[in-house]
Structure 1
Amino acid sequence: MILFLVESFTKAKTISKYLGKDYLVKATGGHIKDLPEDRLGVDLETLNPTFLWRKGKKKLFDEIKKSSLKAQLVLLGTDPDREGEAISYFLWEELKRVVNIPIRRVYFYEITKPALQKAIKEQTNINMNLVKAQFARRVLDRLIGYLLSPELQKSLKTRGLSVGRVQSPALRLIVEREREIQSFKKKKFYYIRALFEGFSAYLGVRFEKPDNAKPYLEKLKDVFFEVKEVQEWEEMVPPPKPFNTPELQKTANERLDFSVEKTTRLAQLLYEEGYITYPRTDAHRMSPEKATEFLQWIEKNYGVEYVGRLRKFREKAHVQSAHECIRPTSLVKKPPPGDSLELFELIVGRTLASLSTPAVLKNTKVMLTPLTQGIPFEFIAKGRTLVFDGWTRFEDYDFMEEKLPKLEKGQILKPQKIILEERQTEPPKRYTEGSLVKKLESLGIGRPSTYATIIKTLKERGYVVVEKGYLKPTETSFLVLDYLMENFPKLVDYQYTAKMEEVLDLVEEGKKDWKSAVRELFKEITDGNPYPNKLP
């Protein structure tokens, strides 16, 4: 018998369907060990962490241990990332004490029979660099959270406040945006608009005051216009990239009104039930074999004119080449109706759209000259129509079409009305959960596995409230940010936070010792601040 261990009970149930009677699949229910909840759990001299059994996990592991005594081989099939590697490491560490059989690591990025068979065939050892990167991340976050949060609470005389390596820069983004909104002063400006039958055109000049436009309005009374030029051209709009984690979270937030936490939970369930690939990924790449399968499906169902190609994308330096985009494992198998199906169909639509052909737009620009003296500017009318839907056959997209009637050079037109149109500058918008995730990604802050936790923590700490879909900071968040900017500026420095992620990536790549990384980063954060418990 081969014992196959994973972290999720749903995942274990799905995998059991694909493996034969010679396999016993068991789940740990997540991490089996972690730092203690009631104390720091890290020696400040050596940085040695103390990992203890999580509540209820020792009893669960005893059952796994009994099964291992009957096995000839143990396969560790936890998620293919730092957290999954750490779970496998602790299982390996405990099992090797009681059994003298091979304990091997297997990696798969979708739960299908071919993927599992391939993973078992290519079984390997635990990647200790990944484990050390998880230790570094966990210990650094613990030092920041457990040593600096009390300083914040003491200063603001408020319990329950916390700081975090990624949480605090995210809070800064939200608060700084709110301050931009508060200091924003609306400014009015004006355009002259000529209304014709079926379309309108604007004078190509902006007026800061209505009085500045009055001389032009006077000269334009009862004036005819001549079509001076008509320009037409086609625009190819390329298909979008397939989803990675931040883009899925942002799109599901915008189109389905799902919180980032909800999207993360549903995507993980879809993965564990075998419907999609691993949902925590920075990558846009897609398996050539699956892309071919999807391209053939597009041709069969929609015709060759919708068949695009598998594109290569420039990925960020830290992206692991083994990870794919988030895509369906099959176009035939679907989850039952509900939120999971909505998210699945969003993923299917984006996957097919990414492999389809460009959409084609017809753009029109018409220049109209008023037949009067003293108007040195032309009026311009713009039109845009979709002439071939291409990738938008699979994913809705609003091109803001504007149809113009057929106009020809030299044509004389009489406007129905000439008006002065008032507009005003608009303040920047607050972040939504989705747009915050995309901003963090663009700054190199956080990783796919952390975005949902960051936003959840900001809500739970009372730093933000969701108002009409936007993240609004509370009064407390302003006080917290001001304290951090004054006392621990590195902690809320965007570039430094991105640097911390890069250093953790170096640990993962085996290029840096994890304790040295933690010590250096934490010392830089606390440099110049005389608080107790500094690292020696």
Structure 2
Amino acid sequence: MLLKDAFVLDVSGEERNMVLSYGPCQFPTLGFIVERFWEIQAHEPEEFWTINCSHTSDEGTASFIWIRGHLFDYSSAVVIYEMCVHEPMATVQNVRNQEKLKYPPYPLSTVELQKRASRCCRMSSEHTMKVAEELYQAGFISYPRTETDSFSPNTDLHAIVREQVDHPDWGTYAQRLLNPEERLWRNPSNGGHDDKAHPPIHPTKFSTGENNWSPDHKKVYELVVRHFLACCSQPAVGAETTVEVDIAGEQFNASGRVVLAKNYLDVYRYDSWGGSLLPTYTIGQQFVPTSLTLDSGVTRPPPLLAEADLLSCMDKAGIGTDATMHEHIKKLLDRCYATKDANSRFSPTNLGEALVMGYDEMGYELWKPYLRAMMEADMKSVSVGTKSKAQVLEGCLQQMKACFLDARANKVKLLDAMGTFFARSNRPINETQNTIEVVRPCGACNDSEMLLKRRPNGGFMVGCRGFPQCRNVVWLPGSLAEAAVTQQICPTCVPGPVYKIQFKFNRRDIPPSFDVDHLGCIGGCDDVLKELTEMSRFQHHNQTTTPARSQSQTQTTSTSGVRQGAPRQDLPTGSRSTGQFANQHTPAVNPQGRGQSQTPSAVGVRQGTPRQDLHTVFRTASQFANEQQTPGVNPQGFRSTHTGLTQNSRNASSSGAGQVLCTTCGEACINRTANTEANRGRKFYKCQNPGCGFFVWEDELDNVAPRGRGRGSRGGGRQASASAGRRGGGRGRRGRGNTDADGMTFISATGDTVHGCCFTCGDPSHFANACPNRGR
């Protein structure tokens, strides 16, 4: 839907090349972030009131919590509080003492590794997996991508613990764990997951820290070892006391805890467990509270999702696998859909929120985990044999196809959502923006804009935003180094506005008479840009043209420098609209000297547009062959503004001089412009008959006899050479002759015949590049 082209996204630098994509795992993950963000945005703070009570004795202080929690009605809270103040005597109604156990964690799976590394080591899930993979490759831990959280009964867990007894930090605890008298050992709990492929993550080799380890390697290795030792340990034991009191009919309670045996907490420093000690109370005991206050507070929204919380949401909803969850999170950051702060909490970007809002407006909950959950359930059905692969695949394809068709039909809702956060690309975001991407309205489809774009090869083009439905395009010169759209509007070209472009050309690719910096217009009024485009096209043609096959063959080509069959537009003449460009196409000059005719393909007219002036573009092979030579082509292959073989092309010059006739064959001569270093820009006349070698410079016409040849007086000799060439069957580029099979003679831009011999020594048996006398 071309969102990147339709809107000015708030990205810069390398992020401008980002990809906008939808994924069945990626978007539900983004949905969790956006949904939490919306909950925070929608939260309305509300004031509440609560009654707090505390009692201090010789044994300590107990803080009692109101059983009602809090009230949002201030009057009701005040009434109850005044009742408690008038009758402040507290009566102990119940005292409960019970043993509490805090169990060690299950054996370590991939998800738990990522969650605990995020909470305890403040490492991202993606970085955690990278470090764990390196530790695995070095043989220090087991395979880190596993869903299994239960050890096989055949696993020798004691052997794994024995490897750690010499560690300076947890070696003592490992010794206690192996000592039966300590009664600390306990077989790990069964987490209920087994992927039948890999055991839970555990240490496989002892290390106190390698020299090449980073601090993060040490953190991950320590987490794996301590987690393994903890899951083989007894749970922590504590005694918890709860006291309930009554004040004027209102119930309050206080809790306290004392840890009796830390057990696994001695080694697993990532968990904490404790509490406050309560003074001793007995049922029926009465006391007056030390403090009794009515306090107010304000409701607070939930916090942003931390990475551990996001992983838990993904795991619960079945989004991705243990080995890919971190990749989905990283992709959200790479796509600029979300950001992560220093506390590892995620917030959606404007782009991420706009995409989710757009899909939500469509009615399809593509940002919810339901669709992916159905796919995961179907794949599990395949694994257990209740469904076939083909059946599940067909069902998934149908589901996704329906979603795609519906999304495409309702894409306007996504565009509206994007418009809520981003400005349209045809106007600046703010006053500091100096450039825009839109060049002009597209005159072909009349529905979109033409945008300045950089091609994959580094060049520039102006193409319709509606691609591929609209293939209107203007190719800019290959000599361009930089191009930027300005806010200056061309006063001539219509339909408008047509924004001018600031061009910067490569000095080595343009003639010295042209400036490197040029403010130009693609609407057709810029002669400089048109001339540079022609030069660039001819240079490219010289580099890519292949030898012709035969004089009798009619070859179909596109304009030089353009891929065959690629719809395109040339820079127009005048101020015609972009969609009405009718290419004044002329066959490119064959640098090999072949005289075969060429028929242009559908080049210069956008496919599917009204065919205006097609007679200037499409000519049959026979018509083109009969023309033999188009007067609109100069010796360097640049086109003039005339199309076809007209009387104007036979004029001696554009200044209105009389005709110059060939004295050999009597045909009218055609006017050309030389492009050699010595005579660049100098005009001359030559006979339009390919077999005639007549040639004369325009500025020498006054120095020769009327209708004379000037320097072309040698044309007869050249014609004789051409005849000899026909008899001898010159081989053109493949041979050493200077004529083709039909006896056509080739002349250079200076009018001299291209002789088939070495210009160094004159030997016709070789050319100068193979001359043995070269360099002497």
TM-score range, shorter chain: 0.5 to 0.7
* 1:234 equivalent among 99, 124, 132: 99
User: In 2, distance between residues paired with 1:379 and 1:464?
Assistant: 44
Aligned counterpart, 1:404 = 278
Aligned counterpart, 1:383 = 256
* 1:168 equivalent among 18, 27, 31: 27
Aligned counterpart, 2:319 = 445
Percent identity (aligned): 25
Offset of residue 323 of structure 1: 1.8
Where structure 1 has 5 or more consecutive residues not aligned to the other structure, the ranges are: 1-149
Establish whether residue 477 from structure 1 lines up as the match of residue 477 from structure 2. no
Check the 8 A contact 2:95/2:242 in 1, yes or no. Answer: yes
Check the 8 A contact 2:140/2:206 in 1, yes or no. Answer: no
Segment of structure 1 superposing worse, 358-367 or 523-532: 523-532
User: In 1, distance between residues paired with 2:389 and 2:4?
Assistant: 29
Aligned counterpart, 2:235 = 358
Check the 8 A contact 1:152/1:480 in 2, yes or no. Answer: no
User: In 2, distance between residues paired with 1:409 and 1:486?
Assistant: 60
Offset of residue 334 of structure 1: 4.8
Establish whether residue 526 from structure 1 lines up as the match of residue 401 from structure 2. yes
Offset of residue 299 of structure 1: 6.8
Aligned counterpart, 2:79 = 215
User: In 2, distance between residues paired with 1:172 and 1:234?
Assistant: 42
User: In 2, distance between residues paired with 1:193 and 1:366?
Assistant: 15
The structure with the greater share of residues assigned to helix is: 1
Deviations 1:57-93 (CA, angstroms, capped at 9, x unpaired): xxxxxxxxxxxxxxxxxxxxxxxxxxxxxxxxxxxxx
Please state whether the residue corresponding to 2:93 is helix, strand or coil: strand
Cα 1:487–1:522 shift into 2, 3 Å: farther
Write the letter of the residue equivalent to 1:300. Q
The aligned length equals: 377
Deviations 1:96-128 (CA, angstroms, capped at 9, x unpaired): xxxxxxxxxxxxxxxxxxxxxxxxxxxxxxxxx
Offset of residue 204 of structure 1: 2.5
Check the 8 A contact 2:104/2:235 in 1, yes or no. Answer: yes
Deviations 1:376-407 (CA, angstroms, capped at 9, x unpaired): 12332211222211221221322351221222
* 1:307 equivalent among 167, 185, 189: 185
Check the 8 A contact 1:326/1:347 in 2, yes or no. Answer: yes
Cα 1:323–1:451 shift into 2, 3 Å: same
Please state whether the residue corresponding to 1:480 is helix, strand or coil: helix
Check the 8 A contact 1:366/1:380 in 2, yes or no. Answer: yes
Check the 8 A contact 2:92/2:243 in 1, yes or no. Answer: yes
Aligned counterpart, 1:201 = 64
Aligned counterpart, 1:144 = none
Offset of residue 274 of structure 1: 0.7
Write the letter of the residue equivalent to 1:246. V
Check the 8 A contact 2:364/2:403 in 1, yes or no. Answer: no
Check the 8 A contact 1:294/1:352 in 2, yes or no. Answer: no
Aligned counterpart, 1:134 = none
Please state whether the residue corresponding to 1:472 is helix, strand or coil: strand
Deviations 1:162-208 (CA, angstroms, capped at 9, x unpaired): 11121111111111111111111223322211221112213333332
Check the 8 A contact 1:364/1:383 in 2, yes or no. Answer: yes
Which residues in structure 2 correspond to 1:133-148 (within 5 Å)? none
Deviations 1:412-434 (CA, angstroms, capped at 9, x unpaired): 43322211132333312221222
Write the letter of the residue equivalent to 2:115. K
Aligned counterpart, 1:251 = 116
Please state whether the residue corresponding to 1:179 is helix, strand or coil: helix
Q: TM-score, normalised by structure 1?
A: 0.64
Write the letter of the residue equivalent to 1:270. L
User: In 2, distance between residues paired with 1:380 and 1:512?
Assistant: 55
* 2:245 equivalent among 368, 392, 401: 368
Where structure 2 has 5 or more consecutive residues not aligned to the other structure, the ranges are: 10-17, 166-172, 410-467, 469-776
Offset of residue 507 of structure 1: 6.0
Which residues in structure 2 correspond to 1:12-411 (within 5 Å)? 160-197=19-56, 198-205=61-68, 206-221=70-85, 223-288=88-153, 289-294=155-160, 300-302=175-177, 303=179, 304-315=182-193, 319-331=194-206, 334-335=209-210, 336=213, 338-370=215-247, 375-396=248-269, 397-411=271-285
Check the 8 A contact 2:118/2:124 in 1, yes or no. Answer: yes
Offset of residue 220 of structure 1: 3.7
Write the letter of the residue equivalent to 2:79. P
Cα 1:518–1:257 shift into 2, 3 Å: same
Offset of residue 153 of structure 1: 5.1
Offset of residue 310 of structure 1: 3.1
Check the 8 A contact 1:310/1:355 in 2, yes or no. Answer: yes
Write the letter of the residue equivalent to 2:114. Q
The two structures, once aligned, show a CA RMSD in angstroms of: 3.0
Offset of residue 347 of structure 1: 1.4
User: In 2, distance between residues paired with 1:240 and 1:268?
Assistant: 22
Offset of residue 510 of structure 1: 7.9
Aligned counterpart, 2:298 = 424
Cα 1:488–1:163 shift into 2, 3 Å: farther
User: In 2, distance between residues paired with 1:521 and 1:508?
Assistant: 16
Check the 8 A contact 2:106/2:188 in 1, yes or no. Answer: no
Please state whether the residue corresponding to 1:306 is helix, strand or coil: coil
Cα 1:237–1:168 shift into 2, 3 Å: same
Write the letter of the residue equivalent to 2:326. A
Please state whether the residue corresponding to 1:170 is helix, strand or coil: helix
Greater RCO, 1 or 2 (C-alpha within 8 Å, sep 6+): 1
Q: TM-score, normalised by structure 2?
A: 0.45
Deviations 1:438-484 (CA, angstroms, capped at 9, x unpaired): 21111111012211211111111111111242100011112111333
Offset of residue 311 of structure 1: 2.8
User: In 1, distance between residues paired with 2:71 and 2:274?
Assistant: 26
Check the 8 A contact 1:280/1:448 in 2, yes or no. Answer: yes
User: In 1, distance between residues paired with 2:74 and 2:365?
Assistant: 48
Establish whether residue 435 from structure 1 lines up as the match of residue 315 from structure 2. no
The structure whose Rg is larger is: 2
Deviations 1:489-518 (CA, angstroms, capped at 9, x unpaired): 364341220222344456667887767654
